[in-house]
Structure 1
Amino acid sequence: MTLTGITSTGYHGVFPEERREGQPFVVDVVLEFPLETRTDDLRDTVNYAEVAADVESVVTGEPRNLIESVAGDIAERLLARGRVERVTVTVHKPQAPISQPFGDVSVTICRSK
């Protein structure tokens, strides 16, 4: 299961203005779990609305210095979902405080049970 572009405002960063003003963070997640295709029952899968809510909760939650820590918190939360065996999380910080022109800053981590 893949969710891309989950966007929320967070207050992560090492600079006081990042913690004070906040900025958008964009998160992509890939969840690996046994996919049941013979039933049509939500109980046999992972609810992607709940996954998106988990991601948003971390991004809008406790400020962290590093997006690496944000990605790790998201991965831990998603791995706690019973069926999920492996997760890949990418956290994008499109308004990172860099003086040079850039397209994106992101960090990607993979975690498994």
Structure 2
Amino acid sequence: MTADRIALTGLRVRGNHGVFDFERRDGQDFVIDVVLELDLTPAAKSDDVTDTVHYGELAGRLAEVVAGDPVNLIETLAQRLADVCLADPRVRAATVTVHKPQAPIPLEFADVAVIIRRERT
């Protein structure tokens, strides 16, 4: 197992996820962090982007999921994002954090987040 990682943090995308009608109607910003675990040795040796996960393309695919079909729970959204990360066979594991900083909580708070880690089986 390698300790190599690629991290993409702070990806802000508007989505319409939530259990309340107004969340699905009005939408809100979600902030996504992902950490991919994979062997970066081939990319380091070749200096070729095709030997690694292209994080710009990954960001685009993640954004499509967040902006796409609404779900009730950010747990479900996090799983969909993990599935995108694990679609690349080089990725051994992915940790996904979905932040919902405008969650409908009637108290002052800094953030609500769900964090999941999924491994290739």
TM-score category, normalised to shorter length: over 0.9
- TM norm structure 2: 0.91
- TM norm structure 1: 0.98
- 2:70 is the counterpart of 1:98: no
Letter in 1 for 2:99: H
**Which residue number corresponds to residue 79 of structure 1?**
86
Letter in 2 for 1:9: R
- 2:30 is the counterpart of 1:25: yes
RMSD over equivalenced CA pairs, Å: 0.6
Cα pair 1:54 1:78 within 8 Å, conserved: no
The 5-angstrom pairing of residues 39-50 of structure 1 reads: 39-50=46-57
Spell out structure 1 runs of 4+ moving beyond 2 A: none
| Identical-pair percentage | 53
Q: SS in structure 2 opposite 1:38? A: helix
| Unaligned ranges ≥5, structure 1 | none
| Unaligned ranges ≥5, structure 2 | 1-5
**Which residue number corresponds to residue 35 of structure 1?**
40
Q: State the Cα deviation string for residues 21-45 of structure 1 (Å, max 9, x = none).
A: 0000000000011112111111111
Letter in 2 for 1:52: A
